[in-house]
Chains A and B, each alone.
Chain A
Amino acid sequence: GAGVSQSPSNKVTEKGKDVELRCDPISGHTALYWYRQRLGQGLEFLIYFQGNSAPDKSGLPSDRFSAERTGESVSTLTIQRTQQEDSAVYLCASSRQGGEWDTQYFGPGTRLTVL
């Protein structure tokens, strides 16, 4: 079956603009995660959705970042008034049930460049 897909694969934007990144998880996976990887760094957790539970937003770096998920399908990560430090690869992952032992499957990422 299809893996996690993300769009766009690359996004170049100007400082101050808003951007929307999309993630299509593996069908049937109830858990969805967003991470980002800045240059030379490891992946940083941003937000986690599990079924109908309230999302865990503890990793969002500022109130300019928000994410939504419709049911158990598509998620969008929105960054408002982008800053240069937002430049990173944004990775989405999904897992079957979201438990600690569940393997997280990652998409290819969206490379965001803020000029």
Chain B
Amino acid sequence: DQQVKQNSPSLSVQEGRISILNCDYTNSMFDYFLWYKKYPAEGPTFLISISSIKDKNEDGRFTVFLNKSAKHLSLHIVPSQPGDSAVYFCAASTGANSKLTFGKGITLSVRP
């Protein structure tokens, strides 16, 4: 039973445009959400996070939006760059435990 779902396996966007990566979750106990980025043959690297007391967190070109009532979060990348091409994982945790529950990931391709 997947508690964190990334339903689209891939996304392709043109350089300079916006990339929107979506994530849904089912466990209402999750209160901290993260996005990790992964290049081939490397471990995931932390990108941005948001706690459940917020609905938006921004860091440079990256913004994460959280809609708790819909149990949905999204990552916006503006403007998208070819170097953003990677697999993006959505992850979540509860206050009781720092272990992360991950989605399956989405492969983003940014076309020059």
Q: Interface residues, chain A, CB within 8 Å of chain B?
A: 4, 31, 33, 35, 40-45, 48, 56, 58-59, 91, 93, 95, 98-109
Contact = CB atoms under 8 A, between A and B. Distances in A.
Given A4-B43, A104-B46, A108-B43, A42 B98 contact: no
A109 B46 CA distance: 15
A4 B109 CA distance: 27
Majority secondary structure of chain B interface residues (helix, strand, loop or mixed): strand
A7 to B, nearest CB: 13
* Centre residue among B6, B36, B51, B99 by max chain A CB count within 10 A: B99
A109 B91 CA distance: 18
Interface stretch (B54-62, B66-74, B76-84, B100-108): B100-108
Given A42-B104, A100-B32, A105 B98 contact: no
B46 A56 contact: no
* Centre residue among A41, A42, A59, A106 by max chain B CB count within 10 A: A42
Contacts of A58: 99
A105 B36 CA distance: 10
A104 B44 CA distance: 9
A42 B107 CA distance: 12
B41 A43 contact: no
B106 to A, nearest CB: 11
Given A101-B32, A108-B41, A108-B43, A45 B101 contact: yes
